[in-house]
Structure 1
């Protein structure tokens, strides 16, 4: 029997730690997104060393319990990721922030972003969070969040820079968890 892996749904899972092989794969996803124009805190050129250093810091946060790291994997490895930032001020124990929702360009338009976001929402509920917040500079991501039931709050013009240096707007969303 032949299995067409291109149509097999990706596996979403929580990483309890971040090994070197995972850091390399996560760095590849981050670099691909930045090279594709995503405004996700990094400027061009994004070297593998800088991307790997970022994921090592994320791994340290995972180890401390400050954040949860989810990944989407297909037959070739990690193709997407999202983080749930849990470390909030003491007057905000009920909320978490969704950060760095990234999907490699080779795996887009396959529902991976939606699967990652649904998993992040479920993890928020499991951790007794009643409110999630996020920001994005991507019109494509805005459509995804709206489709998933997130509420758009508004836009801050010129909030960040695109990887090539051009200013971009940022849109804020929230999701009340039932």
Structure 2
């Protein structure tokens, strides 16, 4: 089940972020990365949900939050048609069950309801999520070499920028 995320989900969201980083996800954090750091990051996100800057979606499996993604509407006056896809995370133990796809489809429906016609995201070029995005109709806009640090080692990897025009 996909639903809107709430502050009560903070602990589960922190567990997912922590597990994803420890599994090698390139989502802005490097090791060592403690659960407390993940909780602190999510505590910083929660006010942006309350003021409408972002919308949070969670995927539940048997009542347990196992995945999440965020929609951030562009704030600039010349971009009322655009939004960013942020932090698609699925717990490593819940992958390959369609949760990432379901989260993205819910996010896209909400973006359309908000009048957003263009979605933009970035992903480490070697991440499996890149294939998911391509399968959902996202188009590669370009790649930036050496953009992000690998979470395990001081190796800098390319990031791919992608977009999708919603119909």
TM normalised by structure 1 equals 0.89
Could you tell me which residue of structure 2 aligns to residue 41 of structure 1? 28
> Cα deviations across residues 26-48 of structure 1 (Å, max 9, x unaligned)?
00000111001111011111111
Question: What secondary structure is seen at the aligned counterpart in 2 of 1:149?
Answer: coil
Could you tell me which residue of structure 2 aligns to residue 168 of structure 1? 157
Give the structure with higher Rg (CA). 1
Q: How does 1:138-149 map to 2 (within 5 A)?
A: 138-149=126-137
The answer for unaligned runs of 5 or more in structure 1 is: 1-10
> Cα deviations across residues 141-170 of structure 1 (Å, max 9, x unaligned)?
111011111111111111011112321110
> Cα deviations across residues 27-81 of structure 1 (Å, max 9, x unaligned)?
0000111001111011111111111111111111000100000000112511100
CA contact (8 A) 1:72 1:112 kept: yes
Could you tell me which residue of structure 2 aligns to residue 83 of structure 1? 70
Matched residues, number:
165
- Give the C-alpha shift of residue 24 in structure 1: 0.9
The answer for unaligned runs of 5 or more in structure 2 is: none
Could you tell me which residue of structure 2 aligns to residue 12 of structure 1? 2
CA contact (8 A) 2:74 2:82 kept: no
TM normalised by structure 2 equals 0.95
Distance of 2:32 and 2:114 partners within structure 1: 37
